[in-house]
Every structure is written in structure tokens, then in C-alpha cells.
Amino acid sequence: MKMGPLAGHQGPGTLMAGFTSPPAPDVQTDLAIDAIRPRPQQPRRSFTPESLGRLTDSIRTHGILQPLSVHQTAAGYDLISGERRLRAARTAGLTTVPVKVFSGLTERQVQQLSAVENLQREDLNPVDEADAVLDILSAELDLPKDQLTPRLERWKSMRMRDPALARASEDERQAIAHLDTLFRGLSRGEWTSFVANRLPVLRLPAPLLEAVREGRLDYTKAIALKRAPEDLREALLAESDALSVQQIRQRIQEASRTSAPHEDLDRALETFRRLTAKEQLAKLTPEARRELLSLLTQAAAVMGERSSPPARQRLK
């Protein structure tokens, strides 16, 4: 596992040196708005009309106080950070904007710098914040983002069960030590807290995820709404501004008490039937097969059967 060096720098330009090597020098200048191309991989993906309107008014009055960051390539200037300022400046009628110009960066370095600079913004929503942190970790740990979350959760479990990491491999110990150092540099607290409290936002149902990303729904309310059945979730989402987290939880509890007693069991059985299709069973490891067989035996006992030959036969 490839891991980069870290240094204790704080400003956006020098913080780059803390996550990549070699450090990337930058120059500051004014650049025509039309010469700047937003990148599709920007960590910040949501821009509410209200916040853009406020920023546009501020730019008309005071100008742009914080320069944008761009990467100069043979094809032009790619935006690293500052897309909201770029949009507001265009709406305000500006033709040029102040920029910091970086050059000679790899795509990995551009992605890291974009994530680091966006993390320094106070109004970054929890979804984009989690995505930005994962962008940095993905590059630093040399892991694709789709493999990163399960690794982080496994390493967190290791740390919780065995703080000294006596049973971890050398690669695992190095990765966990690097995470400790990275999060100190990001001033993001403990990485285990990030895994426990921030990563779950990325597993929210799509409507809740977009509502949090767009600033229409508080993260803690979204976590509470995740437990609601889909039809109730939609209704509560529409009322969420007027409800506290506790009120949302109470409404969900009340609905669960008044729902037909067999509904939860029906949903669980439907999920079970889908997961035990032949093609799914074929993917099980021998250990998983034994565990499933044990659970089926327990289920049969609950239903009054003391043995489960069909289940045993099917899993062989």
C-alpha cells in the first residue's frame, strides 16, 4: 500500500505539501472567467440559489476576497476549487477573477488539493465533506474509493477490539498509523469518529442524500428518517423543517406500533428469499455457508421444527 509523506502545514498552498510530494508552487494573478473550466470531479456538488444569491450580492459589493485555485495545463485552466465563487462572479457581471495558478500537478494531486481546499470551507455540507475526505484518503492510501469504506470500517473494528493492534498485519498497522497522522493534519478529529459518524451519510437513501447535500435537511434528521418506511419517510421529509429529531423519531415509533404486525416479517422474508437465490448461495464461502446453516436451524426451531433437512440439503 503506497502512502505519501505528511508535513504540518496549514495554508491551502502549503497544505498541499502535507499530502503530496513534491510541494506544488503557485502564483496569483487575475484570469478571464471564460478561460476557467470547472472539473466534473469537484468535491462541492450542490449550490442552493439562496447561498449563490447572497454570495453574488457580496461580490458585487466587496469583490472576491478569496482567490480561486486553478491548474494550468496545455489545454487551458482547470478549476481546482471555488466553483461557487466562479458562478456568483459570472452572475455579478465580472469578467475576470483572482486566481492561484498551479501547474505540473498529477490528477491525484489536483484531486487532493481540491478536496483539502474545500474542506477548509465552513459551509461545506456533510455529504460533500465525507466525499472530500474520502478523496484524500483514497489517494493517500492508494485505494479506489469503492474499496475504501469497507477497509475503514474493518480497521475501525480492529482498533476498537485491539487498541495495540497486536493481531494486525504490518500493512494494516502502517495504514492505521497513516490514518492517525492524516486526520491530525486535516484537523478532523479521530478517523474512527469519522468512520462512525460521517461515513453513514453516504449510505442514506437517495432522496435524503440529496436533501442533505443541498442543505434542505439536517444530517441528524436524515439519520433518523433513514429508519422510516419509504411512504412515511417522504411525508416526514416534507415536514422536516418544522420537526425536531425527537419528533421525527416519535412519529416513526408511532407508525411502527400501528402498522400490521406481519409487515416487518413479510419484508424480512422477501429480503431473505432474494438473498438465498441459487446464484447468491453459490457465492458463499464455506464459513458463511456454515453460519447460514446454523441460523436456518435456529429459525426452524423457532417455527417448531427440530431439524431442517431441506436447508441442509440445499446448502451442500
CB 38 within 8 A of CB 83: yes
* Per-residue pLDDT tens over the stretch 27-54: 789 999 999 998 766 555 566 777 788 8
- Tens of pLDDT along 106-149? 888 888 888 887 777 656 788 888 888 898 888 888 888 888 99
Residue type for position 130: A
Which of 32, 44, 123 lies closest to 70 in space, CA to CA? 32
Whether 299 is covered by a domain: the verdict is no
In the chain, where do the E strands start and end?
26-32, 36-37, 68-73, 76-81, 96-103
Q: Is residue 141 part of a domain?
A: yes
Determine, yes or no, domain membership for 249. Answer: yes
| DSSP code at position 46 | -
CATH number at residue 77: 3.90.1530.30
What pLDDT sits at residue 250? Answer: 92
Residue 143 to residue 110: CA distance in whole angstroms: 17
Closest by CA to 111, choosing from 129, 144, 138, 75, is 138
- Which residues, including other chains, have CB under 8 Å from residue 155's CB and lie 6 or more apart? 172, 175, 176, 179
Q: How far apart are CA 312 and CA 127, in angstroms?
A: 44
Cell triple for 48: 442552493
Give the number of domains in the chain. Answer: 3
Phi, psi at residue 40, to the nearest 5°? -65, -20
The alpha carbon torsion through 228, 231, 236, 237 (nearest 10 deg) reads: 100
Domain for residue 12, yes or no?
no
State which residues form the domain around 236: 218-255
Residues 132 and 96 placed together within one structural domain of the fold = no
Q: Are residues 128 and 197 in the same domain?
A: yes
Query: Do 96 and 124 lie in a common domain?
Result: no
Q: Please, what's the b/e burial string for 172-197 (b: 16 or more CB within 10 A of its CB; e: otherwise)?
A: beebbebbebbbebbebeebbebbee
Q: Are 138 and 175 in contact (CB under 8 A)?
A: no
129 lies in the same domain as 194:
yes
Residue 311 domain-assigned?
Answer: no
The structure's pTM equals 0.60
Q: What's the pLDDT at 25? A: 55
14 touches 23 (CB < 8 A): yes
Q: Does residue 245 sit within a domain?
A: yes
User: Residue for cell digits 417522504?
Assistant: 234
- How far is residue 130's CA from residue 127's CA, in Å, rounded to a whole number? 5
CA distance 169 to 177: 12
Please check whether residues 130 and 168 belong to one and the same domain.
yes
DSSP letter (8 states) at residue 99:
E
Q: Pick out the chain residues at pLDDT < 50.
A: 2-18, 20-23, 306-309, 311-313
Note the helical H segments in the chain.
Answer: 12-19, 49-62, 83-91, 107-119, 126-140, 145-161, 170-186, 191-197, 206-213, 219-225, 230-239, 245-258, 263-275, 278-281, 286-302, 309-315
190, 134: one domain: yes
Instruction: Let me know whether 147 and 100 are in one domain.
Output: no
Residue 271: CB atoms within 10 Å: 10
130 & 191 share domain: yes
Residue 279 included in any domain:
no
Whether residue 140 is contained in a domain is answered as: yes
